[in-house]
Amino acid sequence: MRDSWRHFVAEFIGVFALVFVGGAAIMSSTMSNINPLLPAAIAYGLILGIMITATMRISGHLNPAVTIGFMVTRRIEPMMGVVYIIAQLTGAAVAAYALKAVFPEHVAVASRLGGQMVSGDIGMAQAVLCEFIATFLLVFVVFGTAVDPHAPKVGGFAIGLTVTAEVLAIGSRTGASMNPARSFGPAVVSQMFEGQAVYWIGPILGGIAAALLYDGLFLRRGKEPMDHGAVNPID
């Protein structure tokens, strides 16, 4: 029970920080009449890299898409995965309430508390594809830098840079969620649920695809031919 609480609190704090800092960057940009894309990319990338580094000894997922990827590759028990996801969704909602408390109401409404919005010139299928690709790349990087036992020991640095790059790439299309919790929290508090299907379907499918690919192809059990080198993952 104590171990479950440690994981819950780590995930709660990590996602709270992600949603609060990223949302605050967007809302501050809105108040200053600045395009929020660059501030959001930098803020989300920095805070995610920092919080993953701070929590990775205990959990370090901070994203239901990552947790589900770990579940389908049997790297986390299903019940613990559920604990992670509840903590992530709760942390995101509490962060959105905190944003609502510290920013003016008109800014909260205009910015959707830092929530994402699908561009009017793309359809649902295109939006889901954007989120699928972005989350696939994100989870691929998670496995390549945090799961693989031979991964470079860079903490959350590479993961944070990936998020920064992807917000810059598709932020104008979908808001570049890549994280159902990050979209869920502000939506619940603002009561603006437009596009929520996109922010669940795309990231979850992308995360599962990346996790299965990396786990099955790059973390194969046993030894490869001598000219390819050995990959010996931790079971």
Question: What pLDDT was estimated at residue 168?
Answer: 97
Question: What pLDDT was estimated at residue 65?
Answer: 98
C-alpha radius of gyration, the chain, whole number: 18
Closest CA to 136 of 148, 128, 125: 128
Question: What pLDDT was estimated at residue 229?
Answer: 40
Give 29-32's long-range contacts (Cβ < 8 A, gap of 24+).
30/107, 30/110, 30/111, 31/103, 31/104, 31/107
- Domain 2-218, second-level architecture: Up-down Bundle (1.20)
Question: Look-up: residue for tokens 């939006």?
Answer: 127
Question: What pLDDT was estimated at residue 231?
Answer: 44
Question: What pLDDT was estimated at residue 2?
Answer: 65
Predicted TM-score (pTM) of this structure: 0.90
The amino acid occupying position 132 is F
Question: What pLDDT was estimated at residue 221?
Answer: 59
Closest CA to 15 of 45, 51, 54, 46: 51
The amino acid occupying position 67 is T
Domain ranges of the chain: 2-218
User: Measured between alpha carbons, how far is 162 from 63 in angstroms, rounded to an integer?
Assistant: 14
Angle between helices 37-55 and 157-174 (to 10 degrees): 150
Q: What are phi and psi of 169, to 5 degrees?
A: -75, -45
pLDDT tens over the chain, length 235 residues: 568 899 999 999 999 999 999 999 999 999 999 999 999 999 999 999 999 999 999 999 999 999 999 999 999 999 999 999 999 999 999 999 999 999 999 999 999 999 999 999 999 999 999 999 999 999 999 999 999 998 888 889 999 999 999 999 999 999 999 999 999 999 999 999 989 999 999 999 999 999 999 999 998 654 544 443 444 444 4
Question: What pLDDT was estimated at residue 235?
Answer: 43
Give alpha helix (H) positions in 73-179: 78-102, 105-111, 124-142, 157-174
Residues 6+ apart with CB under 8 A from 34: none
User: Measured between alpha carbons, how far is 226 from 166 in angstroms, rounded to an integer?
Assistant: 36
